[in-house]
Amino acid sequence: MSSFKALVIEKTDDGQTVALKDFKVADLMDGDVAIRVTHSTLNYKDGLALTGKSPVVRRFPMIPGVDCAGIVEASDNPDFQAGDRVILNGWGTGETHLGSYAEKARVRGDWLIPLPKGLTPSQAMAVGTAGFTAMLSVLALERHGCSPGDGPAIVTGAAGGVGSMAIAFLAKAGWRVVASTGRVSETDYLSELGATEIIERSELSGPGRPLAKERWAVGVDSVGSSTLANLLSSIQYGGAVAACGLAGGMDLPTSVAPFILRSVALLGIDSVRARKSLRLEAWDRIARDLDRDKLAAMTSSIPLADVQSAATDILEGKIRGRVVVDIG
Ligand code: NDP
């Protein structure tokens, strides 16, 4: 096969175009492993890339898609051989390296990990970077020494991908989970995932005080901006917040008060360049802890042809949970 179907972003004088096209195998970028992509997923960052709302894409033409599950077709990497099932999250795919909204990908073998035991490729993509990031957040809070006996955990952007996964993981780990959402209509959904209390997003938005009532022991924040600032002001003495997102904005209008008066810790979470040992640890824990029924309840599936319209929806906060892209 000298060409394959791919969603391709091209730069134009007016911005960018996105179209499903035939892409030449010869035009794939360098890498020591060739993959037949079977599944991908839709993350917030993919939405930014496909709409051009943020400068996520750093070379053109670009095949977007930051997550990939597939089967190795050929490998010059000693860790992988033809027929192996693998996954890839991040490492600049869909940004600087051609990504996975395509039937084929060529990548560096050290970016790959084997498909986690007990997960199908579709389930691994239902988890995707969003779930991987949620687990990195949980691991960071645990490493900081936080545990469910300390008090409740709060998750912001609760009905989104990272939020939904974080609720499920925290509940499984024994935390009492409070979900902050702009969609209280999703109360049943959030409760099924494991949230015991739902609060309106507006409680945490807008200008807040440097210190507010201590309400939660830990937080997983996918929203940023004033939401994260208000969260920090409301964390109990010695607690921590894992900051992993910016769905509400990239700024952080806070003060040093929570840090120097309450010993609150702000833990930064990056999924893109996380080291391999941490990836393996996170995916082992995901495969072990994730309730497959909850995963199914938060997942929908679309073909490659529908990715572009779903990209607009995710930026408008209209997607609930996770979306798998079925490539075949
Ligand atoms: P989703 O769009 O699925 O979820 C984001 C959620 O945030 C929405 O569902 C909504 O939740 C809430 N939200 C959206 N807009 C606003 C707003 N203006 N103010 C307050 N809340 C808002 O995206 P993902 O879960 O895939 O990603 C979430 C964030 O995490 C993104 O910013 C993404 O870039 C980031 N991210 C970071 C990673 C990392 O490596 N650090 C990796 C993956 C994602 P609700 O309706 O419940 O209020």
> Ligand 1 centre from 68 Cα, in Å?
20
Would you give the distance in Å from CA 108 to the centre of its chain? 21
- Within this chain, do residues 256 and 308 fall inside the same structural domain, yes or no? no
Q: What pLDDT score does 208 carry?
A: 87
- Within this chain, do residues 186 and 312 fall inside the same structural domain, yes or no? no
Question: CATH number for the domain including 250?
Answer: 3.40.50.720
Residue 133 near ligand 1, beta carbon < 6 Å = yes
In this structure, is the dihedral angle defined by the CA atoms of residues 230, 235, 237 and 239, taken in order, positive or negative?
negative
Residue 314 near ligand 1, beta carbon < 6 Å = yes
Residue 42 CA, closest ligand 1 atom number: 26
Kindly state whether residue 279 falls inside one of the protein's structural domains.
no
> Ligand 1 centre from 274 Cα, in Å?
19
> Ligand 1 centre from 315 Cα, in Å?
8
Measured by CA distance, the residue closest to atom 37 of ligand 1 is: 245
Range of the domain at 94: 3-115+298-326
Kindly state whether residue 277 falls inside one of the protein's structural domains.
no
- Within this chain, do residues 239 and 174 fall inside the same structural domain, yes or no? yes
> Ligand 1 centre from 249 Cα, in Å?
10
- Among 40, 41, 44, 204, name the best residue to mutate to test ligand 1's pocket (greatest count of ligand atoms within 8 A of Cβ): 44
- Within this chain, do residues 260 and 140 fall inside the same structural domain, yes or no? yes
Residue 43 near ligand 1, beta carbon < 6 Å = yes
Kindly state whether residue 15 falls inside one of the protein's structural domains.
yes
- Within this chain, do residues 144 and 13 fall inside the same structural domain, yes or no? no
Kindly state whether residue 61 falls inside one of the protein's structural domains.
yes
- Within this chain, do residues 75 and 151 fall inside the same structural domain, yes or no? no
Kindly state whether residue 104 falls inside one of the protein's structural domains.
yes
- Within this chain, do residues 132 and 110 fall inside the same structural domain, yes or no? no
Q: How many angstroms separate the CA atoms of 249 and 71, rounded? A: 37
Measured by CA distance, the residue closest to atom 18 of ligand 1 is: 248
Packed helices 44-51 and 307-315: angle between N→C axes, nearest 10 degrees: 110
Last-in-domain residue among 268, 285, 307: 268
Q: What pTM, to 2 d.p., does this model score?
A: 0.96
- Within this chain, do residues 149 and 251 fall inside the same structural domain, yes or no? yes
Last-in-domain residue among 224, 249, 268: 268
Kindly state whether residue 56 falls inside one of the protein's structural domains.
yes
What count of residues does the chain have?
328
Cis peptide before 116 (omega within 30 of 0): no
Residue 157 near ligand 1, beta carbon < 6 Å = yes
- Within this chain, do residues 170 and 82 fall inside the same structural domain, yes or no? no
Residue 186 CA, closest ligand 1 atom number: 47
Q: What pLDDT score does 78 carry?
A: 97
pLDDT along the chain (328 residues), means of 10: 94 93 97 98 96 94 98 98 98 97 98 97 97 98 98 97 96 98 96 97 93 98 98 98 96 97 98 97 97 93 96 93 95
Measured by CA distance, the residue closest to atom 12 of ligand 1 is: 157
- Within this chain, do residues 177 and 79 fall inside the same structural domain, yes or no? no
Residue 247 near ligand 1, beta carbon < 6 Å = yes
Structural contact between residues 100 and 94, judged by C-beta atoms closer than 8 angstroms: yes
Kindly state whether residue 285 falls inside one of the protein's structural domains.
no
Q: What pLDDT score does 275 carry?
A: 96
Q: How many angstroms separate the CA atoms of 112 and 130, rounded? A: 17
Question: CATH number for the domain including 33?
Answer: 3.90.180.10
- Among 89, 202, 203, 223, name the best residue to mutate to test ligand 1's pocket (greatest count of ligand atoms within 8 A of Cβ): 223
Domain count, the chain: 2
Kindly state whether residue 282 falls inside one of the protein's structural domains.
no
- Within this chain, do residues 109 and 161 fall inside the same structural domain, yes or no? no
- Within this chain, do residues 109 and 135 fall inside the same structural domain, yes or no? no
Residue 244 near ligand 1, beta carbon < 6 Å = yes
